[in-house]
Amino acid sequence: MKKSLCILVAFLLMVGVFSACSMKKAKDDLEETSGSERLEDVEPTSSIMITEEQKQKEMEKVVLTLYFADAQANKLVAEKRFVPKSSAKNASEMANMAINELMKGPISGHLVSPLPKGVKAPKVRLEKNTAIVDLPKEFVEKHPGGSTGETLTIYSIVNTLVSINGIDQVQFTIEGKKVEEFKGHLDISKPFKANKDIVAEEKSKESSISQDAEKKDDSIMTSEEDAAEEAMLIEWELMDQSDYQ
């Protein structure tokens, strides 16, 4: 009797220990699963997202309209230039950025810069809606001069700056002082407005399409004529061979 009781107690103890271990394992598995689910549900809000947002802002561009001379140096032609928005937050920054881009020269191969090379870029400051462009002394000294040359240079700057929102006119100074003439031909004592007459007219798309169509038709006609002539020559050769035989 006493032996059977001992066996029963031992059996119950073993069952209790086994049950406790099983419950602990199940609890650990549940906590591990819940923890992993919570980690998966949480969206990262680290500095990586902020950096990507800042990077996106840095990639935003603003468009500047620059004016360069055509190949004949008779007219001005507009050229678009994209610059970082972070470097052109207001009209003043955009104006100085535009002048710096003008000094770099055109991207298009058929345009030329009417500004002297190898000189410092003029500085621009705003007074209400007027852009004050201060030309360095060397800018004037290294300019080749001439009535047309001076006009293209001045209006290259004027038309470029007036295309910026918030700028209506441009006043020139040389080394911080107002002067009467730029280099003997053009009066720069008063502010300049944009000059549309000096800008070359763009060819209409219809005219361009018409010209392309005419060229295509001419090309087709020439090809047909060449084919007909070649066929005739072959026919003559065959006739000659037939007569010879």
- Comparing 11 with 134, the larger pLDDT belongs to 134
Sheet holding 76-84, edge to edge: 76-84, 61-70, 111-112
Whole-angstrom distance, CA of residue 57 vs CA of residue 203: 36
CB 179 within 8 A of CB 140: no
The pTM assigned to this predicted structure is 0.62
- Comparing 100 with 208, the larger pLDDT belongs to 100
* Residues paired with 97 in a beta bridge: none
The predicted-structure confidence for 127-150, as pLDDT tens digits, reads as follows 999 999 999 999 999 999 999 999
The two beta strands, 123-127 and 130-135, are antiparallel
Question: Element (H or E) spanning 66, and its range?
Answer: strand 61-70
Q: What CATH topology corresponds to 57-174?
A: Alpha-Beta Plaits (3.30.70)
Dihedral, 89, 90, 94, 95 alpha carbons, nearest 10: -160
The two beta strands, 76-84 and 61-70, are antiparallel
**pLDDT of the residue at 166:** 94
The predicted-structure confidence for 29-77, as pLDDT tens digits, reads as follows 555 554 444 434 444 444 455 566 666 655 688 999 999 999 999 999 9
Ranges of each domain in the chain:
57-174
**pLDDT of the residue at 51:** 67
The predicted-structure confidence for 155-204, as pLDDT tens digits, reads as follows 999 999 999 999 999 999 999 999 999 988 899 999 999 999 999 987 54
